[in-house]
Amino acid sequence: MLFWVNKLVWWLVNAETLLLLALGLGGLLAWRGGGRWRRLGNRLLAGGVVFALAVAVLPLDQWILAPLERRFPPPDPHPARVDGVVALGGGISVGRSRQSGRGELNEAGDRILGMLELAYRHPEATVVYSSGAGGSYDPDRTEADYAGALAEAAGLAPGRVLLETRSRNTRENALESLRLAQPQPGERWLLVTSARHMPRAVASFRAAGWEVEAYPVDFEASAAGAPLLLDFAGRLRRLNGGLKEWLGLLGYRLLGWTDSLFPAPRPPVQ
């Protein structure tokens, strides 16, 4: 039940929904309302237009993403020994994969590429892909199933990637991956996920009792600064992604699913 409540809350508070409500409800009140209702409608319309222009022109997406993506930098130098790799789901569109019959990558497809890179670089490492039924899905195949097929198509041995197919969110990614991988004390495990998602992911794994090291991919904040250009659709998508992570960090902490609101890196396992 809590899983679906979380989905509903996010749908209600994301920037796209709020913008549509402001413009739609504002337009209706300004057209059909009278007196104070018409004035409220005009204010909602004006607020929606100003917000849309701000998203299109100002680098709001960069401002909200940069602190998240820079919290856990890539390992430097790359560790010589890696005992295991955990890649989190979200990089495969299950709906499109169901239509085509093969794994279809989406905007977060770097998670799959990062997993494959580390699997080839460290052939002795255990590899886990964690993603079950997180939303609209094929009842017969999870995202992890498609990831396993992609890994075999890329040349990895059948069964090389352990598939965790039960998790529906980041907390369950940590708990179910821990159950499947059973890491041993002193082992060095890398966690692969989008850079903006890394703080919440690391906090979830730590709360589950698993100290992992960040291997972020899928960076979207510009390292060269925030360019001034008109890109409403792209900036709104990135703004939504950043807002979701900040709200997720707060929600997970309030629910007791993490031990820190905004975790920081720790010294790696030697």
Task: For 36-84, write each residue's pLDDT tens digit.
Answer: 899 999 999 999 999 999 998 889 999 999 999 999 999 999 999 999 9
What span, in angstroms and rounded, lies between the C-alpha atoms of 14 and 9? 9
Collapse the DSSP code of 22 into the 3-class scheme (helix H, G, I; strand E, B; otherwise coil) and give the result.
helix
Q: What DSSP character marks residue 223? A: T
Determine the Cα angle at 14 with ends 249 and 110, to 5°. 65
What span, in angstroms and rounded, lies between the C-alpha atoms of 14 and 24? 15
Task: For 215-263, write each residue's pLDDT tens digit.
Answer: 999 999 886 655 556 788 889 999 999 999 999 999 999 999 999 999 9
* 23 strand-pairing partners: none
What is the reported pTM?
0.90
Mean pLDDT over residues 90-118, rounded? Answer: 94
Question: What residues contact residue 262 under an 8 Å CB cut-off, 6+ apart?
Answer: 71, 199, 249
What span, in angstroms and rounded, lies between the C-alpha atoms of 147 and 105? 10
When the candidates are 3.40.50.620, 3.80.10.10, 3.40.640.10, 3.20.20.120, the CATH number that belongs to 75-219 is 3.40.50.620
Q: Which DSSP string do the residues of 85-99 spell out, in sequence order?
A: EEEES-SB-HHHHHH
The pLDDT of residue 16 is 86
Q: Which amino acid is at 97?
A: S
